[in-house]
Amino acid sequence: MHNLTRIVLLVLALAMAGGVAQAQRVEQSQFGPVVQAYLGYLRNEQEVVDDRASRHEISTEYYRRNSNRIRALRQMAIRLVTKSENDYVPELEAVAADEMRSLFEDPPSPRTLRVSQVVKNTFRYLGPVTSGEVFYVFARLDPYEQAALIESGNANEGPMTSSSPESSAAKGQRVGDSSTRPRRSSPR
């Protein structure tokens, strides 16, 4: 009877795992190739953290924080893409309040951050995500956005007047559009 219980538990576990994998495939199919790749990257990061935890290479606290961070990044990416309908995810950073120094030499207070605010000409604050704890999610500005900020004189002045996290950070193609683009011509 003991072996029968093990078999039943194994079958249930496999069925649940199959259901989760199917749900992830269905969810991913609604996104374009860039977003699918980013979600796959996050899944791989979680597998690495899980593997390190299974070999007791990391502490429980480290495992929990990094798993929560990965979930926060996933939530923000899906939120951005769903709102913008663009197949684009900016380079995202999620930090807890006590980790702000990992992004900023002189970190801002989380209480003073406003959504869409540009911080230190480098990051746009996208908002908080609660995933076990509060993570503050930022999108790294690309060099062109940084140059435009400096040129316009809006550097470090808070939110830009005509931008939102979706409009400024999501400049990719619309979901469902072809992924081909014209070739770049080079000077001869």
- d(C-alpha 53, C-alpha 60), whole Å: 8
Q: Positive or negative, the Cα torsion across 105, 65, 137, 133?
A: negative
Laid out side by side, the sheet with 133-140 consists of: 92-95, 133-140, 123-131, 117-119, 158-159
Residue 40 maps to a domain: yes
In 85-161, which ranges are continuous DSSP H helix? 143-152
Report whether pLDDT(173) > 50. Answer: no
CA distances from 175 to 34, 36, 88, 105 (A): 10, 11, 9, 37
Residue 151 maps to a domain: yes
Residue 110 maps to a domain: yes
Radius of gyration of the CA atoms of the chain, in A: 20
Instruction: Establish how many alpha carbons lie within 13 A of residue 116's alpha carbon, considering only the half-sphere containing its beta carbon.
Output: 12
Residue 148 maps to a domain: yes
Residue 78 maps to a domain: yes
pTM score, whole prediction: 0.69
Report whether pLDDT(114) > 60. Answer: yes
Report whether pLDDT(78) > 50. Answer: yes
Residue 23 maps to a domain: no
What's CA 170's distance to the chain center, in Å?
13
Question: Considering the chain, what percentage of its residues have pLDDT values greater than 70?
Answer: 66
Residue 20 maps to a domain: no
Report whether pLDDT(163) > 60. Answer: no
Number of structural domains in the chain: 1
| Secondary structure (3-state) at 8 | helix
List the domain range (segments joined by +) for residue 93: 31-172
Q: What is the pLDDT of residues 125-160, one digit of tens each?
A: 999 999 999 999 999 999 988 888 888 876 554 443
Within 10 angstroms of residue 56's Cβ, the number of other Cβ atoms is 8
Higher-confidence position of 105 and 167: 105
Higher-confidence position of 30 and 3: 30
- d(C-alpha 51, C-alpha 152), whole Å: 47
Residue 14 maps to a domain: no
